[in-house]
Chains A and B, each alone.
Chain A
Amino acid sequence: MENNVAIQLIGVNKWYGEFHVLRDVNLNVERGERIVICGPSGSGKSTMIRCINRLEEHQQGQIIVDNVELTNDLKNIDQIRREVGMVFQHFNLFPHLTVLENCCLAPMWVRKVPRKEAERVAMEYLEKVKIPHQAKKYPGQLSGGQQQRVAIARSLCMNPRIMLFDEPTSALDPEMIKEVLDTMIELAESGMTMLCVTHEMGFAKTVADRVIFMDGGQVIEMNTPDEFFNHPQHERTQLFLSQILAH
């Protein structure tokens, strides 16, 4: 059954021990949709997107990704992880492998692409994120912004249908944020389904179809960027926006 829904969260609840971290989260993401998630620290943003590729396990409710439901069935988890790319705050590149090897590893071992082909595709994506000439270097030799762009390229090499971003620019020096955001904007324009946890409101305004505000493990408000920034409904949203737009 092929339909237009990329991700569906239905009544998702999650606890860390006694701590109720996700509370009845409902979300429908359509193919090609770009969604920005914001909210104060500790509100459960990371936890929510990490549930989507099963880096965290939810205990109640349903998560359906690309028409496959996330259950304890390892086959489903593997299938979903192949289709969902993720970019982390701290890049998490493999320091013992070159940039090119970082990009080729998963395609070669998970998708069984021959090395030559994997390298060709990797170079294509490295070109797209504008660092093809660093392919033979190790991650430790690159700047933070370059590393994050490599991490994006590495995810794209698996040819995912959905990309998750967890604060991709929060660990970067200010002058490097733009180069990463530019890469993400380009990706958004290519029609990728994207979920981004970020506090870059400029990015949200330019590319997001919807903005989600989370607090205390709940989705408090969800709206188009226009409405969200100009007419926030909930007082917690208003407070949050006034705080982050203040500087």
Chain B
Amino acid sequence: MAIITEKALPSLPPPAHTVGFKAWAKQNLFATPTNSVITVLMVLFILWALIPVVQWAFIDADWAGTKRTDCTSGGACWAFTLVRFNQFIYGFYPEAEQWRVNVAALILAVGLGLLMYKKTPAKAYIGLFMVIIYPVIAFILLRGGFFDLPVVETSKWGGLTLTLVLSIVGIVASLPLGILLALGRRSELPIIRSLCIAFIELWRGVPLITVLFMASVMLPLFLPEGTSFDKLLRALIGITLFEAAYLAEVVRSGLQAIPKGQYEAGKALGLSYWQSTGLVILPQALKLVIPGIVNTFISLFKDTSLVMIIGLFDLLNIVQIAAADPIWLGSQVEGFVFAAIVYWMFCFGMSRYSQYLERQLNTGHKR
């Protein structure tokens, strides 16, 4: 039997019970009896776990005081973190010079903010400024020795400042190196390929703590007598080479996902190897592995705390030292909670930004 539809049906609004909070809750939280029971149990569990934390951190907390015994309410002794806050941020950087750290951080924040904001004009120039000129400015500000700025030895740098210096330099220096290593590992030239494989496998096979220890204790033994080599610089080189090996493998996985046709189209159009790598292959490969790259950055950020074994005072180390002060004895938990919150804020920020970036770069090409 033939069916013929003569009239197009109008589009109607969805039935009322499929929209709004009540509908959402019904669909997601109370869809079946089992579902409802699980929801109730989970809510009870969250309350059971959360109430003591809130009690400790806020209700019973002490905010004022100059020594541990001033904290008498039985909750968190935030007085400790407040009194030592300056040290947590700047380490042993002289107070009179701390404005220099602030200026460097401010330029960094403004630069990054402009780069992340979608509609900023002339992003390429800001990017070049941040990658080429800013490191010089930051170095002059932090270290001093130019324009009447007194020298602040790197051994005085510490706290969050040092953590950020280590991780930002590590991130910025290891990414290009990792990309080159990944390209080298896929090179058609056997010597380059073998060298890259050897480098990657060597550095990936060693714990970071060993690398740092070797950089700090063993490297001086091999250097000619009398050459001294900044300890922070040695740690930075160790971290950079170590992370570059990891990033190389992340980037390589992205390179492998690019279809052969992309290389062929580049060649057929007459693009050189470096042109098609830089303009066609890498933009796609890096976009694919943003989650992996950011994952590596996040772990790098937290791994910088390992520099404590070579006697650098990063955020975690300085918190630990402060908590060992006899007048604050027993304040370790507060110190570590503070450090954890700071680490978390930075790592979560990176994670959110990477998700935002992935969405921005999505060009509707789903495979």
Contact = CB atoms under 8 A, between A and B. Distances in A.
Interface string A165-209: 000000000000000000000000000000000000000000000
A94 B285 CA distance: 12
Interface stretch (A80-88, A127-135, A218-226): A80-88
B17 to A, nearest CB: 35
B267 A81 contact: yes
Contacts, number: 72
Given A85-B269, A95-B284, A95-B365, 11 more contacts: A53-B268, A55-B267, A86-B268, A88-B261, A92-B262, A92-B265, A94-B262, A95-B363, A105-B271, A110-B269, A158-B270
B363 A154 contact: no
Q: Which bucket holds chain A's interface residue count? A: 20 to 34
Contacts of B270: 78, 81-82, 106, 110, 158
A88 B365 contact: no
A39 interface: no
Contacts of B262: 92, 94
Contacts of A138: 363-365
A109 interface: yes
A233 to B, nearest CB: 34
A109 B279 contact: yes
Interface of A: 53-55, 78, 81-82, 84-86, 88, 90, 92-96, 105-106, 109-110, 138-141, 154-155, 158
Interface in B331-367: 361, 363-366
18 contacts: A78-B272, A84-B268, A90-B261, A92-B261, A92-B262, A92-B264, A95-B365, A96-B361, A105-B271, A105-B280, A109-B279, A110-B270, A138-B364, A139-B365, A140-B363, A155-B268, A155-B269, A158-B270
A55 B259 CA distance: 15
Given A78-B272, A109-B279, A94 B364 contact: no
A137 to B, nearest CB: 8
B156 interface: no
B283 interface: yes
B284 A96 contact: yes
Contacts of A96: 283-284, 287, 361, 363, 365
A141 B363 CA distance: 8
B35 to A, nearest CB: 38
A139 B364 CA distance: 8
A105 B279 contact: yes
Contact of B269 (A90, A106, A141): A106
B11 to A, nearest CB: 24
B274 to A, nearest CB: 10
B275 interface: yes
A154 B364 contact: no
A94 to B, nearest CB: 5
A243 B280 CA distance: 40
Nearest to A109: B275
Contacts of B275: 109-110
Interface string B273-293: 001000110011001000000
Nearest to A139: B365
Interface string B244-278: 00000000000000010110110111111001000
A96 B365 CA distance: 8
A192 to B, nearest CB: 16
Interface in B123-150: none
B119 to A, nearest CB: 17
A140 B364 contact: yes
Given A88-B265, A140-B363, A140-B366, A94 B271 contact: no
Nearest to B361: A96
Contacts of B269: 81, 85, 105-106, 110, 154-155, 158
A78 B266 CA distance: 12
Contacts of A158: 269-270
A155 B279 CA distance: 17
Nearest to A164: B268
A109 B365 CA distance: 24
Contacts of B272: 78
B268 A55 contact: yes
A172 B272 CA distance: 30
